[in-house]
Amino acid sequence: AKIIEIAKRLSLQAAKGGAGGERLCDKHQEALKLFCEEDQIPICLVCRESQAHRVHAVVPIEEAAEEYKEKFQAHVQILKDRREKLLGLKVVEEGKSL
């Protein structure tokens, strides 16, 4: 659920960026180019150097988006596999009941 929430947040932020525009930090009016893994939020370069994020692990926002996209796709595949298995079991049990 947390991965889905983060993926939605990142895709919403990309959409809000508009046609080619970057979303800006509310505090510093700088482009949000980094993703703070500790706080799970996009940050600007100025925020990166602030006390709030200095010791946190950060990655480029594109890299974080790709990582979460891959995790999301892996979870979707697991759920698809489980669904297939459950549908197969349902068919077998319906056959038995007939």
47 has pLDDT over 70 = yes
Could you please state the CATH topology (level 3) that the domain comprising 2-96 is classified under: Double Stranded RNA Binding Domain (3.30.160)
pTM for this predicted structure: 0.60
Residue-level length of the chain: 98
Please, which pLDDT band fits residue 17 given cuts at 50, 70 and 90?
A: low
* Whole-number pLDDT of residue 19: 43
Q: Are strands 41-43 and 58-60 parallel, antiparallel or unpaired?
A: unpaired
CA 88 to mean position of chain CA atoms: 31
* Whole-number pLDDT of residue 35: 94
73 has pLDDT over 60 = yes
* Whole-number pLDDT of residue 16: 58
Q: Is 48 exposed, middle or buried (0-12, 13-18, 19+ CB in 10 A)?
A: middle
Percent of the chain past pLDDT 90, that is, above it, reads: 56
CA–CA dist 81, 79 (Å, integer) = 5
